[in-house]
Amino acid sequence: MATTAPPDPHPVEPLTTGRGVFGALKNWWHTNPVLAGQLRGFAVVAVICTVISMTIFANLRPYTGTQWANVISLVLCSILNTELNRRISFGVNGRHLWWRDQRRGLWVMLLALAMTGGSLWVLHQVSPNASIWVELVVIVLGNVASAVTRFLLLRYWIFRRVRHGSAASAK
């Protein structure tokens, strides 16, 4: 006598979202919802903080010079960046470990500072009279270059306690 297996409570349906790179990306996005949500939040925070940082930089530059304006804008935005990533990217809303997260966020900011400060130094060696627009582009490119490492450090070092979607345990 043949027996039938009970139906699988979570049937796996193949994703048929298209072909090529975009289809593969869409499939990946659907099969990794926690990481996809974190990346989406990280991108939103990156845009917000980049706009704010560039505004601070552009306003301070005439008074403090290029490097100091860069340092001040990055330090100020680092605190905002870490807080927004806590909430938006990693779902941490409580005050538990807030100081530790902020302190580690400042360490991560040093990476961006090294990238942008070094890029500005090289720019001024090559083109001493570069316009503020060129400086802003160089800073944004430096931040983009450090963004991958920043996300990995946030995910696997600062917010590793919520990496698997268990933000409730971190509140």
pLDDT in tens, 120-168: 999 999 999 999 999 999 998 988 888 888 888 888 887 776 655 554 4
Residues 6+ apart with CB under 8 A from 63: 69
CA gap 115, 71 in Å, rounded:
11
Of the pLDDT bands very low, low, confident and very high (cuts 50, 70, 90), residue 171 is: very low
Of the pLDDT bands very low, low, confident and very high (cuts 50, 70, 90), residue 26 is: confident
Residue 18 DSSP class? -
Give the chain's radius of gyration (CA, Å): 21
Residues 6+ apart with CB under 8 A from 16: none
CA gap 144, 148 in Å, rounded:
8
Amino acid at 133: W
- If phi over 0 gives left and psi between -120 and 50 gives alpha, with beta otherwise, what is residue 14? beta
Quote helix, strand, coil % in the chain, to nearest 5. 75, 0, 25
pTM > 0.85: no
pLDDT over 80 (residue 71)? yes
Residues 6+ apart with CB under 8 A from 120: 66, 67, 70, 135, 138, 139, 142
